[in-house]
Chain A
Amino acid sequence: EVQLVESGGGLIQPGGSLRLSCAASGFAMNYNYMSWVRQAPGKGLEWVSVIYSGGNTHYADSVKGRFTISRDNSKNTLFLQMNTLRAEDTAVYYCARGNSAWYDYWGQGTLVTVSS
């Protein structure tokens, strides 16, 4: 059974850093592309970043230069390093497994709140 479990969210002050993790089971992450998608409170879905099976990455303009996506194949875990956080980064962050560019499995999400 495929499962994705995010962790690492919490309350952080503006300008701070946070690292999110997404532990995968039931499949080998390095054979799929994986994305982070976020959802601000009461708002819609926003794609944040993707890492392909070959390791290439893409970022939304809103996070480029501040966020870094990576994965540890040995631990089958996806990461999102978030630096210089802003209030507008407040959201539930989901990791999602790509299947030919749409997403077939999603984690339950982890809440990041950026506030002083």
Chain B
Amino acid sequence: EIVMTQSPATLSVSPGERATLSCTASQSVSSTLAWYQQKPGQAPRVLIYDVSTRATGIPARFSGSGSGTEFTLTISSLQSEDFAVYYCQQYNKWPQTFGQGTKVEIK
């Protein structure tokens, strides 16, 4: 099983600042990586797939990068609605696996 490790566990950021979230895979997942956002009491919502492609309706302030085992989600200027938990997911091999999440909180 491919283990996905996200860092940091919690990120404290002020509105308007940049947030950088990391995701590391225990082995190469090529470009088969997605990012999801989850707010309390809600289902996850896809933000990014195939490392860097924004899903429909996702604002341009969200961007993804990386390849192989190291990946990054960047939120260029945090808005109030962006404070949430973010998960990365690899879909290169079964079982699909998710990271443990990074909580982005208001500083």
Contacts and interface: CB of A to CB of B under 8 A. Distances in A.
Interface of A: 35, 44-47, 50, 58, 60-61, 94, 99-104, 106-109
B98 interface: yes
B94 A108 contact: no
Interface of B: 32, 34, 36, 38, 42-46, 49-50, 55, 87, 89, 91, 94-101
Contacts of B94: 50, 58
Given A45-B87, A46-B98, A47-B96, A104 B55 contact: yes
Contacts of A99: 49
Contact of A45 (B44, B46, B49, B91): B44
Contact of B96 (A100, A101, A107): A101
Contact of B32 (A47, A60, A101): A101
A94 B101 CA distance: 17
B95 A107 contact: no
B100 A44 contact: yes
B98 A47 contact: yes
A27 B47 CA distance: 21
